[in-house]
Homo-oligomer: A and B are copies of this chain.
Amino acid sequence: MPLDFGCNRLQTRRRSGATANGEEASVAVTISDVAKAAGVSASTVSRALTRPERVDAETKARIFAEIERLGYKVNRAARGLVTGRTSNLAVIVADLANPFFPDIVKGIQLRAHRRNLTTLLADSGENPEAELNLVGSLAPQVDGIVLCGSRMSDEQLAKAQQLAPVLLVNRSASGVPAVAVDNADGMRQAVRHLRALRHRRIGYVGGPTTSRSHHDRVDGARRAAADNGMELIELGNVEPSFGGGAAAADSVLLAEVSAVLTYNDMIAIGLMHRLVGYGVRVPDEISVVGFDDIPLAEMTYPPLTTVRFPRREAGEAAVDRLMRVLDGAEPEDDAAPLPTELVVRGSTTRLQTSPEGNHA
């Protein structure tokens, strides 16, 4: 654990004698500058900021006028020092470049901003150890940490929890608050969709077996297939990436299914890409369905039918939930999972009844 050997010198930016007309005010106006200008004490200014109702309306007006004029901004670090609340929120994502995450982060920021929280973002590079280290170094500076797509083991997660209040997005572990998404239901919708399009024998290309959502998804698919009297051929597990999807193309073809479900969009896209390379026509010869509805999904050719994962909503829920936990709520009061939703685009089509019914 690398210790921090502090920084060298360097000057703070300082105010430069805020003149009467406030033109000169350069930076770092403090609460006592405001107090002096408004002819009150620092505590009154502080109170005006934190408990406005306990301050005389007129005084308050004067204070806010000065705040405005001087361009005063509270120093959150100083405030945090005394309140014990940093008003900072850390977000750790597995890989920022993975199109799955940005919208979650945006959702988090949206809510955080609304609650006057600042977000510290870090990227673990899919590395569980790095992730835990990040938790360690971020923990002291934040009120809580949102882990998106955490790769940590349950033990590591437990350690992380000792360091700071933690909230999981799309992952679950007993005793750790989380925001869940209804993955199984998404798969159910996808299967039902294929059923409606007359498919009966379908494939499933799985994702990382270590991933909770993989299990939720495959279970959902199995159950739905059974419920609809369909045959589900499981085609193994691949990396949840473009390359992983491409690699699955042969198995898909070999399985002679008329449609294939995938763990996620990246797999679906890689798969379609390879299929197209083979000269297989999607969706005429084979329908494919993704999961997540990442932005890419509508840019492929044909556009991908997929299940929307409510990313922004999950991000928003994450900060709401985390704040509730900080305010003492039970981790157990598990809210209902966020709903998923099938998005039909061009990569699925109705199966012809006759086996050789496909003509270009």
Inter-chain CA distance A80–B119, complex, in Å, is: 18
List residues of chain B with CB within 8 A of the CB of A75.
Answer: 81, 140
Across the interface, do A4 and B74 meet the contact criterion of CB distance under 8 Å? yes
Across the interface, do B26 and A162 meet the contact criterion of CB distance under 8 Å? yes
Q: Which of B3, B52, B77, B296 contacts A5 (CB 8 A)?
A: B52
A127 to chain B: closest CB distance in Å? 13
Which residues of chain A from 95 to 116 have any CB-CB distance to chain B below 8 Å in the complex?
A: 96-97, 99, 102-103, 105-106, 109, 113, 116
Which residues of chain A from 118 to 144 have any CB-CB distance to chain B below 8 Å in the complex?
A: 118-123, 136-141
Across the interface, do B299 and A50 meet the contact criterion of CB distance under 8 Å? no
Instruction: Report if A57 contacts B (CB, 8 A).
Output: no
List residues of chain B with CB within 8 A of the CB of A84.
Answer: 10-13
A238 to chain B: closest CB distance in Å? 16
- Identity of the chain B residue whose Cβ is nearest the Cβ of A245 in the assembled complex: B299
Q: Which of B73, B116, B295 contacts A140 (CB 8 A)?
A: B73
- Identity of the chain B residue whose Cβ is nearest the Cβ of A243 in the assembled complex: B299
**Interface mask (A1-35 → B, CB under 8 Å = 1, otherwise 0):** 11111110011110000000000001110000000
A248 to chain B: closest CB distance in Å? 15
Q: Which of B2, B5, B6, B103 contacts A97 (CB 8 A)?
A: B103
**Interface mask (A331-360 → B, CB under 8 Å = 1, otherwise 0):** 100000000000000000000000000000
Instruction: Report if A36 contacts B (CB, 8 A).
Output: no
A51 to chain B: closest CB distance in Å? 8
Across the interface, do B96 and A106 meet the contact criterion of CB distance under 8 Å? yes
**Which residues of A come within 8 Å of B, CB atoms?**
1-7, 10-13, 26-28, 49-50, 52, 64, 67-68, 73-81, 83-87, 96-97, 99, 102-103, 105-106, 109, 113, 116, 118-123, 136-141, 161-165, 242, 269-270, 273, 276-277, 295-296, 299, 301, 325-328, 331
Across the interface, do A140 and B3 meet the contact criterion of CB distance under 8 Å? no
- Identity of the chain B residue whose Cβ is nearest the Cβ of A329 in the assembled complex: B2
Inter-chain CA distance A299–B276, complex, in Å, is: 12
Across the interface, do A77 and B80 meet the contact criterion of CB distance under 8 Å? yes
Inter-chain CA distance A67–B87, complex, in Å, is: 26
Across the interface, do A76 and B273 meet the contact criterion of CB distance under 8 Å? no
Subset of 5 A-B contacts with CB under 8 Å: A1-B331, A4-B328, A12-B84, A96-B105, A97-B295
List residues of chain B with CB within 8 A of the CB of A76.
Answer: 4, 140-141
Q: Which of B4, B64, B269 contacts A116 (CB 8 A)?
A: B4
List residues of chain B with CB within 8 A of the CB of A7.
Answer: 50, 83, 85, 87, 116
Across the interface, do A326 and B27 meet the contact criterion of CB distance under 8 Å? no
Which of A87, A140, A328 has the most CB atoms of chain B within a 10 A radius of its CB?
Answer: A140
Top 6 A-B pairs ranked by shortest CB distance?
A12-B84, A6-B50, A77-B77, A121-B121, A97-B102, A96-B102
Which of A12, A80, A299 has the most CB atoms of chain B within a 10 A radius of its CB?
Answer: A299
A103 to chain B: closest CB distance in Å? 6
Across the interface, do A99 and B99 meet the contact criterion of CB distance under 8 Å? yes
Across the interface, do A106 and B123 meet the contact criterion of CB distance under 8 Å? yes
A307 to chain B: closest CB distance in Å? 19
Across the interface, do A276 and B301 meet the contact criterion of CB distance under 8 Å? yes
List residues of chain B with CB within 8 A of the CB of A68.
Answer: 1
List residues of chain B with CB within 8 A of the CB of A119.
Answer: 120-122
